[in-house]
A and B are shown apart, each in its own frame.
Chain A
Amino acid sequence: MRISDISRLAWDQVKRRKVVTGLCMAGISIGCAAIIVALSIGESAKSYSEKQLNQSFKMDEITVTANGGIPSHGGEGGGGGATPEASDKLDPGKLTRQKLDIIQGLKHVNAAAPFQELGYIQMLTMDNRIADVQVIGTDLRLLTKYDKTFLQGGGSDLPRMAVLNYGATLGLIDDETNQKMLEGFRNDPYNVQLREQYDSLSVLPSQMYQQQFQLQQFKDYSNPASKILQSAPLRVIGILNKASGADDLMESYNKIIYVSLETAHQLVEELSMTNGTVGQEGVYNSAIVKVDSTDNIVQVEKLIQKLTLTTSTNLYQLEQLADEFNMVKKVALGVGVFILIIASISIIVAMTMSTHQRRRQIGIMKVLGANMGQIRNMFITEAALLGMMGGMLGVLISYLIVFGINKLIGTAAGPVPGDGIIINIPIMTIPIGIAFAVMTGVFSGIYPAISASRTNALTAIKRD
């Protein structure tokens, strides 16, 4: 029997038996929609959380630091016992330019750049406004490789140039106002008005692009006579965009100035900084490795560790999240499958009833030469068709449900800064949902199909 004939005969029955078709489709479509919506919510929530995590913790980055051989302060001694002069370029424990070059050459590594932390110092603008900032020495041209985008300007390897993150352009206030504020807090820590005033000043933006500034040591207020070391002026050649989803207040707590490694070296000398390896040429205290995918983090991390370097990632956050969402998905999938089982039972009942109603027709077909397999196939095809139609209806229903949920979320959340959670139906869940529906149809159709194929032709065509 040709597939086209089996399908046509099955389709005829599906069209003809509207009540059975409607009942079966209703059951399957609800089950299918439940599965699609469950998977979609799970996937959307997971990807939203991953995105949020990635923004906050940079899941696709590995922070590489020197191993035990490098002292945390000062340029000599330490567990490894090697002096800078004695160490070779691949000295165990040290994070050297050569090691970074090797890391850069590893498969799946998009970028490997030193992020030499100079620590927190004070930024002083030309009009005497100050802010506490973190200074990091790196290759300014590689900043874009680390998901950073420029609001103004760009990176350069010229000395005495700096790139400011968005937070570093906020809350620059003069020293006198700063002192008054701090004193006010000391006297009245719970002064709401003062807090509001401080917060509004904290997010006050300054036009820093192409401006000059200096870096200086923190003032020792206990010793007013002490001399404050100041760096030579630096020029702002780029301002970074604020992090996605972050507001100005959040940004104001995170002020970073990026300078070239050469400039970092100069700053260490100008400000007499003694911070680990910052004074050593070609040796760094920290580097960040950007990997093409979070899936390859572990593999790359293991290779880096072979260079006797210490690594840290935020992957555990992702694993924790994955565990939580796997559980959510399992529960949701379980609900969907449960509904499909109920739908399956309704199909078995409806199709068995249909089989009994069509006993005479089955009998005639058998008398006309249809064998058991052909009868069985017709019924299974009919059940599969019901499943497929139910599945397609389920897809439609799932889109309506997701549309409704998104509307609800939108109404409940109001205007959310950044990217709010939006449930999307991943394309892959549609064939999965329909496949589940067809499978339910087929499995549910097996019993009625076997029962139909075993119909005794003579008994079926006999008239009372």
Chain B
Amino acid sequence: MLRVENITHSFKNGSESTPVLHDINFTVNPGEMVALLGSSGSGKSTLLNLMAGLMKPMEGDIYIADHSIVKMSENKLSEFRRKHIGFIFQAYELITSLTVRENVELPLVFQSVSPSIRKQKSLSLLEKVGILDKADLFPSQLSGGQQQRVSIARSLITEPSVIFADEPTGNLDSKTEEEIIGILLELNKTMNTTFIIVTHETDVAEQMQRIFALRDGYLVSEKGSLVGMEPKGGISIEN
């Protein structure tokens, strides 16, 4: 499903170059739910952006559904993202002028899907995330947790190959955090969608099937399962 091969990346500031990722390699299988764990500055968000095609790595390649996204042009990448990638943002990033349903439908609008199909799909997903009754409200009329549910529904509407979630519970209280993670786990189970969740919270990461931990741009650990994990390369997760 997702293959990250020898990814190395650094940020340039004039003549200075700051390395952020060093020779990252891993594979995510279809239907897996993976956490990308790391503290601030560890390079996890950069890696997420690279995997989503929002940035180009300096070295290495990334494959999603057997397509190399590194070599794609911007327009090709837009088209690819439209079909294969879903996004869940920490700050939800809903369009405030659109209703909940319209927000959920938005990725399909870019695919020129007919309004009737869009409506059918969006309502079905809103029901799945438990806010069908909020379909005609505007984002400003919803709580943080409800907005994140809208964001989740939006990420699922194109039935993408993989969904990237960047700190999806970062703005939520612990009760709502549990609800959202519960929804993601449920969706992963029922829809068999691949999730890659960036988080700095160990308790969130521990609920995932596997964990890739990053420290100072290095992949330091891969956790195969929550129980009886066997750190790859003998390095433990550190916070």
Using a CB–CB cutoff of 8 Å, the interface residues on chain A facing chain B are 1-2, 4-5, 9, 12-13, 16, 360-361, 364-374, 457-458, 461, 463
Indicate if the CB atoms of B79 and A369 lie closer than 8 Å: yes
How far is A364 from B95 in the complex, measured between Cα atoms in Å?
9
What residues of chain B lie closer than 8 Å to A1, measured between beta carbons? 109-110, 112
C-alpha spacing A366/B87, complex, angstroms: 11
Q: Is B81 an interface position by the 8 A CB rule?
A: yes
Q: How far is A16 from B91 in the complex, measured between Cα atoms in Å?
A: 22
Distance between Cα atoms of A13 and B97 in the complex (Å): 8
Q: How many A-B residue pairs have CB under 8 A?
A: 61
Which chain A residues lie closer than 8 Å to B110 at the CB level? 1, 365, 368-371, 374
B158 an interface residue at 8 Å Cβ cutoff? Answer: yes
Q: B113: nearest residue on chain A (CB-CB)? A: A2
Q: Is B107 an interface residue (CB 8 A)?
A: yes
B49 contacts A458, C-beta separation under 8 Å: yes
CB distance from A280 to the nearest CB of B (A): 84
Q: Which of B83-110 contact A (CB under 8 A)?
A: 83, 87, 89, 91, 93, 95, 97-98, 106-107, 109-110
Contact B54 A370 (CB under 8 A): no
In the complex, A365 Cα to B52 Cα: how many Å? 14
The 10 closest A-B pairs by CB, nearest first: A369-B82, A371-B78, A458-B54, A369-B110, A368-B107, A364-B93, A5-B109, A12-B97, A370-B110, A371-B75
Name 10 extra pairs, CB < 8 A, besides A5-B112, A367-B54, A369-B81.
A2-B109, A12-B98, A16-B97, A361-B95, A364-B89, A365-B95, A365-B110, A368-B110, A369-B110, A457-B54
A366 is contacted by which of B78, B95, B115, B154 (Cβ under 8 Å)?
B78
Interface pairs (7), CB distance under 8 Å? A364-B93, A368-B81, A368-B107, A369-B83, A369-B110, A374-B110, A463-B91
Q: Measured between alpha carbons, how far is A371 from B55 in the docked complex, in Å?
A: 15
Complex Cα–Cα for A1 and B79 (A)? 12
- List residues of chain A with CB within 8 A of the CB of B55: 458
Contact of B106 among A360, A368, A457, A458 (CB under 8 A): A368
Given A12-B97, A368-B107: A373 touches B75 (CB 8 Å cut-off): yes
Contact with A along B114-137 (1 / 0, CB 8 A): 010000000000000000000000
Chain B, residue nearest A6 (CB): B109
Distance of B29 from chain A, by nearest CB (Å): 24
Nearest residue, chain A, Cβ from B166: A461
B87 lies within 8 A of A371 (CB) = no
Q: Does B59 contact A (CB under 8 A)?
A: no
**CB atoms of A369 and B74 under 8 A apart:** no
In the complex, B192 has a CB within 8 A of chain A:
no
Report the nearest B residue to A463, measured CB to CB.
B91
Residues of B within 8 A of A361 (CB): 95
Complex CA–CA separation, A366 to B54 (angstroms): 9
Tell me whether B27 is interfacial, beta carbon within 8 Å.
no
Q: Are A372 and B89 in contact (CB under 8 A)?
A: no
Task: Give Cα A16 to B97, complex, Å.
Answer: 7
Q: A1 to B154, alpha carbons, bound, how many Å? A: 17
Task: Enumerate chain B residues within 8 angstroms of A13, measured Cβ to Cβ.
Answer: 97
B118: min CB distance to chain A, Å: 9
B111 interface hit (Cβ, 8 Å): yes
A residues near B74, Cβ cutoff 8 Å: 371-372
Q: CB-nearest residue of chain B relative to A363?
A: B93
Please state if B78 and A372 are interface contacts (CB–CB under 8 Å): yes
Chain B residues closer than 8 Å to A5, beta-carbon distance: 109, 112
B98: A residues at CB distance < 8 A: 12
Chain A nearest CB: distance from B121 CB in Å? 15
Question: How far is B98's CA from A361's CA once the two chains are assembled, in angstroms?
Answer: 12
A311 to B81, CA, bound (A): 78
Q: How far is the CA of A16 from the CA of B110 in the complex (A)?
A: 21
Nearest CB in chain A: distance from B167 CB, A = 11
Interfacial chain A residues near B49, Cβ < 8 Å: 458
Q: A373–B87 Cα gap in the complex (Å)?
A: 21
A372-B111 in contact (CB<8A) = no
When chains A and B are docked, how far (Å) is the Cα of A458 from the Cα of B9?
Answer: 16
CB distance from B233 to the nearest CB of A (A): 30
B125 to chain A, nearest CB (A): 15
The residue in chain A whose Cβ has the minimal distance to the Cβ of B55 is A458
Q: With A1-B112, A13-B97 known to touch, is A367 a contact of B81 (CB < 8 Å)?
A: yes
What residues of B have a CB within 8 angstroms of the CB of A16 in the complex? 97
**Complex contacts, A360 vs chain B, CB 8 Å:** 93
Min C-beta distance of A450 to chain B, whole Å = 14
A360–B92 CA distance with the chains assembled, in angstroms = 12
User: When A457-B54, A458-B49, A458-B54 are in contact, do A369 and B111 touch as well, CB less than 8 Å?
Assistant: yes
Q: Do B112 and A369 touch (CB < 8 A)?
A: no
Q: Which residue of B lies closest to A361 (CB)?
A: B95
Question: Which B residues touch A374, using CB under 8 A?
Answer: 110
**Please, how many angstroms separate the alpha-carbon atoms of A371 and B111 in the complex?**
10
> How far is the CB of A108 from the nearest CB of chain B, in Å?
55
Q: Which of A367, A372, A457 contacts B75 (CB 8 A)?
A: A372
Chain A neighbourhood of B109, CB < 8 A:
1-2, 5, 9
On chain A, the residues within 8 Å of B54 by CB distance are 367, 457-458
* Whole-angstrom CA separation of A377 from B126 in the bound complex: 29
- A-contacting residues, B49-81, CB 8 Å: 49, 52, 54-55, 74-75, 78-79, 81
Contact of B89 among A366, A370, A373, A461 (CB under 8 A): A461
User: A365 near B79 (CB under 8 angstroms)?
Assistant: no
In the complex with contacts A372-B74, A458-B55, A365-B106 CB distance below 8 A: yes
Expressed in whole angstroms, the minimum distance between the Cβ of A65 and any Cβ of chain B is 73
Bound: A5/B110 CA distance, A: 9
B110 nearest CB across to chain A (Å)? 5
A382 CB to closest chain B CB, in angstroms? 12
Q: Determine the distance from Cα of A98 to Cα of B66 in the docked complex, in whole angstroms.
A: 93
Q: For A370, give the chain B residue with the smallest CB separation.
A: B110
Q: Give Cα A54 to B81, complex, Å.
A: 71
Q: Which residues of B contact A4 (CB under 8 A)?
A: 115
Q: In the complex, what distance in Å separates the CA atom of A16 from the CA atom of B106? A: 18
Residue contact A369 to B78, C-beta cutoff 8 Å: yes
